[in-house]
Structure 1
């Protein structure tokens, strides 16, 4: 399934938490033009977890409910900044915003903030997946090392020969080196050892 383009916003849903009626009407009008459905939200009220993006007014910070914080973790957050005091910026940074807008809002800049938020969110998710794969590979390297050491000791051979033996066994059994290594460490011997 292809991921939606960050530039195509039609059909997306936005959770909007804005105190000022003027700002809220500007966002609603701009979102209608872009084809985005808006879901108004008052912190403490019911939470809709199906939003693709959340616009959070810094006047609603800090968000203290775990349900509120969990909701914002599902999609990118756009912070609406009214003041630039260090304490307010610290509260905004706790949201890990993907983009921001400065109040009082204007229609200019909303599209750019949305595109940047979706693109940053996509890139962050890709990086998290890469980190997860690297962590998994690192954990599997430990298993392979343990298996190589075990084969070295049990067959009285050097490290390159032990690894070659594990690799050959993996190819014969049509398994990965990591799978064979896990079997070796679990059983204590090379399954169907060859040579």
Structure 2
């Protein structure tokens, strides 16, 4: 299943937390044109499903409720900034917004902010997955090192030859070097070809 394009917004759900009724009506009108469904428009309001994106007014910051913060976790946020003071901007940055809009809002710029927020969120999630995989591989390097040392001692081989033997065994058994290394450290010897 392919991921939805950041440029296609029809059918997406948005959470609106906007104080000013004029700003809210502009956003609602633009969302109607774009085919975006609104799941709630007030903080603490009844929410009908997890939003794909959230627009949060800086006048509602900081989000005091842990439930609100948890609900928005992983959801790209567009911050609506009305006051450019350092203290207000600090509160906005705590949200880790994917994009922002300056108040008073206009219909121009809303689509661009939505696309940028969705795209930034997608790229951030991909980077987080890559970092997680690299951290896992880094942790598994200790196992590989232990296996190389074990093979060096048991077979009286130099380090490059021991690693080459482990790599060849992994290829023959169609396993990763990390899997073969774990078997070596667990069993104390190279696994036999199966």
Structure 2 length as normaliser, TM-score?
0.94
Q: In the TM superposition, what whole-angstrom CA distance separates every residue of 1:49-102 from its partner, at most 9, and x where no partner exists?
A: 511000000111110211111111132000001101111111100100000001
1:85 aligned residue: 85
Measured in 2, the distance between the counterparts of 1:147 and 1:186 equals 9
Q: What is residue 165 of structure 2 aligned with on the other side?
A: 165
CA RMSD of aligned residues (A): 1.4
- Superposed counterparts of 1:116-135, under 5 Å: 116-135=116-135
Deviation at 1:166, TM superposition (A): 1.2
CA distance in 2, matches of 1:103, 1:162: 64
**1:102-146, Cα deviation, whole Å (9 max, x unpaired):** 111111110110011011111111111111111122122221111
Whether the 8 Å CA contact 1:47–1:71 is kept in 2: the answer is no
Matched, 1:144 2:144: yes
TM-superposed CA distance for 1:41, in Å, is: 3.5
SS of 1:91 mapped into structure 2: helix
Q: TM-score, normalised by structure 1?
A: 0.93
Structure 2: unaligned runs, 5 residues or longer: none
Deviations 1:152-175 (A, max 9, x none): 011111011111221222233232
Contact between 1:43 and 1:63, CA under 8 Å: does it hold in 2? Answer: no
- In structure 2, how many angstroms separate the alpha carbons of the residues matched to 1:47 and 1:183? 49
| 2:189 match | 189
The alignment partner of 2:113 has SS state of helix
Distance 1:49 1:74, change over 3 A: farther
Once the 2 structures are TM-superposed, how far is the Cα of residue 180 of structure 1 from its aligned partner? 0.7
Q: CA deviation at 1:48?
A: 4.7
Q: 2 CA distance for matches of 1:37 and 1:45? A: 15
1:40 Cα deviation (Å)? 2.3
Could you say which residue in structure 2 is the equivalent of 1:101?
A: 101
In structure 1, the partner of 2:6 is 6
For 2:71, the equivalent position in structure 1 comes to 71
What is the aligned length?
193
1 CA distance for matches of 2:86 and 2:175? 55
Please tell me whether the aligned partners of residues 82 and 103 of structure 2 are also in contact (alpha carbons under 8 angstroms). Answer: yes
